[in-house]
Amino acid sequence: MINSKIMKKYEEQYFANYEPVPYTLRDGYILNIYPALVKEWALFENSIYILTQDKNSINDADIIRMSYLEFLYNLINYDIVKNGEDSKYRKMLLNVLVITFKDEKGTLYSFDKYNDRICLSLYGDNEVKCRITAKDLKEITEIIMRYNFIEYNDKQYSEDILRAVNDFVKLKSKTSRQPSLEEKKAYVISKTGINFKDINDMPYRLFDLIFSCNLGFDSFIGDKIIQGSYKYKVDEDIQHPLYAPKRDILSEVFQDSDSIKQKVSQGAKA
């Protein structure tokens, strides 16, 4: 895990300005880590799973002992033997690398052994440019996740907690739905006037913030109108979303699940 002070520096100096994070590999090579753009998001979101599998939940001591890089190597190797170059895991990894390492155009990626350890080598002009070690990959993955997912949480939770979160998500999906990326784009265009091309070329992180800010402001205005009405009593003051305390998934689970269950039950009886 990257030191919290270094990560805070990344957030303030690079994330907030949507500039690439210069990451120095163990061999001294500097890789610039870019955020995914809106037009790349669907491919990125469908591929990032390759770097975030919980290998330690697999009931196999050998797999648990492996570094994530070794796990990735074995997983992709097995898939290539079984499916050839059509390996979905290989494609997923390449998608993430190409989107993230935009300065490395034309680079070939290959798993190699160096000093008896598996590494991910980057080739250019038939020569090794650099090697990503197991520790490098772990830190690069953390940067990628924190840069692209504002609400990213890498805490480890027990199976009971994870089960409660999954149940909460299922309950919530019965009373609401997530808008598609296309609908989010249409909403942002209607609220801001930003044109379609500029949205597609925007880092998804920024787009998501613009979407959330506008949505939050609309809800804030609606709540304020209700608060000022004589018909309704609102005990709590309505805060502007920019100043409201952030809520993590666990607080949502344990504060909202009873409310959602009640809504679902009432809907079933209606």
Percent of the chain, pLDDT > 70? 71
| pLDDT value of position 160 | 61
- 176 vs 138 pLDDT, higher one: 138
pLDDT (mean) for 252-258: 49
Domain ranges, residue 10: 4-148
pLDDT (mean) for 139-150: 96
| pLDDT value of position 198 | 97
Question: At residue 87, what are phi and psi to the nearest 5 degrees?
Answer: -55, 120
* 35 domain-assigned: yes
| pLDDT value of position 202 | 97
Closest CA to 47 of 83, 93, 85: 93
Q: Average the pLDDT over each of 115-119, 200-204, 244-248 and give the range with the smallest value.
A: 244-248
Say how many domains are in the chain.
2
Asked if residue 173 and residue 99 are part of one domain, the reply reads no
Q: Return the top range by mean pLDDT from 118-122, 244-248, 264-268.
A: 118-122
Structure tokens at 53: 């599998």
* Mean pLDDT over each residue of the chain, to the nearest integer: 82
Query: Which of these three, 90, 117, 148, is where a domain ends?
Result: 148
At 152-171, the pLDDT tens digits run: 876 554 556 556 556 655 65
CB 145 within 8 A of CB 151: no
The yes-or-no verdict on residue 226 having pLDDT over 90 is no
Asked if residue 11 and residue 80 are part of one domain, the reply reads yes
* 36 domain-assigned: yes
* 252 domain-assigned: yes
The yes-or-no verdict on residue 238 having pLDDT over 60 is no
pTM value is: 0.78
pLDDT (mean) for 121-128: 93
Query: Which of these three, 95, 119, 148, is where a domain ends?
Result: 148
Query: Which of these three, 94, 126, 148, is where a domain ends?
Result: 148
- 168 vs 101 pLDDT, higher one: 101
For tokens 């591929």, what's the residue? Answer: 47
Asked if residue 173 and residue 48 are part of one domain, the reply reads no
At 63-99, the pLDDT tens digits run: 999 999 999 999 999 999 988 877 899 999 999 999 9
Structure tokens at 61: 């001591």
| pLDDT value of position 267 | 45
User: Going along 82-181, which residue ranges are E strands?
Assistant: 108-114, 117-124, 127-132
pLDDT (mean) for 135-141: 97
Asked if residue 31 and residue 130 are part of one domain, the reply reads yes
Asked if residue 119 and residue 197 are part of one domain, the reply reads no
Asked if residue 228 and residue 255 are part of one domain, the reply reads yes
pLDDT (mean) for 162-191: 75
Q: Please state, in angstroms and rounded to a whole number, the distance separating the CA atoms of residues 228 and 133.
A: 59
Asked if residue 81 and residue 14 are part of one domain, the reply reads yes
Asked if residue 127 and residue 61 are part of one domain, the reply reads yes
User: Going along the chain, which residue ranges are E strands?
Assistant: 21-24, 30-33, 108-114, 117-124, 127-132
The yes-or-no verdict on residue 118 having pLDDT over 90 is yes
| pLDDT value of position 48 | 96
Asked if residue 237 and residue 142 are part of one domain, the reply reads no
Q: Please state, in angstroms and rounded to a whole number, the distance separating the CA atoms of residues 72 and 55.
A: 10
Q: Average the pLDDT over each of 35-44, 185-194, 250-259 and give the range with the smallest value.
A: 250-259
* 154 domain-assigned: no
Asked if residue 168 and residue 135 are part of one domain, the reply reads no
* 153 domain-assigned: no
Asked if residue 48 and residue 117 are part of one domain, the reply reads yes
- Predicted confidence band of residue 268 (pLDDT cuts 50, 70, 90): very low
Asked if residue 137 and residue 216 are part of one domain, the reply reads no
CA Rg value for the chain: 22
